[in-house]
Amino acid sequence: MTATDHRRSRVSAGLLMFRRKNDALEVLLVHPGGPFFQRKDDGAWTIPKGEASPGEDLFARARTEFEEELGISPPACAKPPSRKSYGEPGATAGRSGDWIALGSIKQKGGKTVYAWAFEGDLPGSFELKSNTFEIEWPPRSGKLKEFPEIDRAEFFPEEIARRKINPAQAPFLDRLRAALQ
């Protein structure tokens, strides 16, 4: 499947921020907001990501979703990854390998997720500012309630992240680890 050939299935794109703290790798994961994930923890966290429209540039969508879900911009990109690297895990682009292409995975529901990683940290003054969505809540109540798309964002050491992340997205952690060695 190419980056632009996603008419048959849903496609999302996201960014995985990582940092090195005390010689250990940590990754930033986000927890979905809303009532369905309120009591879910292990296996519920994800990389900041969002659905792309057919033909949309996936790397640009990943950057937009990161900003919309966290309220901060990812770093400026001197040279974005080439389209041919979208599906190739470990391919890098930009100066000093600023961006690491993590390729794609297919989630349980059939959605394909493309991801890129970059090294960074949250600003000291970070305050989560996520987009919101509305759903009827409680069900069949006729009342619409607004919820944040993301209700938490947190860095986790790699071993804890493997427990927290949606199992289908765990290969992104493996690919990041391989690219950093």
Q: Write out the chain's pLDDT in tens, 181 residues.
A: 444 444 445 999 999 999 999 889 999 999 999 999 989 999 999 999 999 999 999 999 999 999 999 999 998 875 566 555 555 555 543 323 478 999 999 999 899 999 999 999 998 889 999 989 999 999 999 999 999 999 999 999 999 999 999 999 999 999 999 999 8
Block residue for tokens 């992340």: 165
Q: Helix, strand, or coil here: 156? A: strand
For residue 3, what pLDDT is reported? 46
Cβ–Cβ < 8 Å for 133, 149: yes
Q: What span, in angstroms and rounded, lies between the C-alpha atoms of 166 and 170?
A: 7
**161 exposure class (CB count in 10 Å sphere: 0-12, 13-18, 19+):** buried
Enter the tokens of residue 10.
């849903």
Query: Within 10 A of 136 (CB to CB), how many other CB atoms are there?
Result: 11
Q: Please give the biggest Cα pair distance in the chain.
A: 54
For residue 98, what pLDDT is reported? 77
pLDDT in tens, 93-126: 332 347 899 999 999 989 999 999 999 999 888 9
For residue 147, what pLDDT is reported? 95
pTM (2 d.p.) = 0.86
Enter the tokens of residue 82.
């080439």
Beta bridge partners of 12: 51, 113
- For the chain, the structural domain boundaries read 11-180
Q: ∠ CA(94), CA(105), CA(23), 5° rounding?
A: 55
CATH number of 11-180: 3.90.79.10
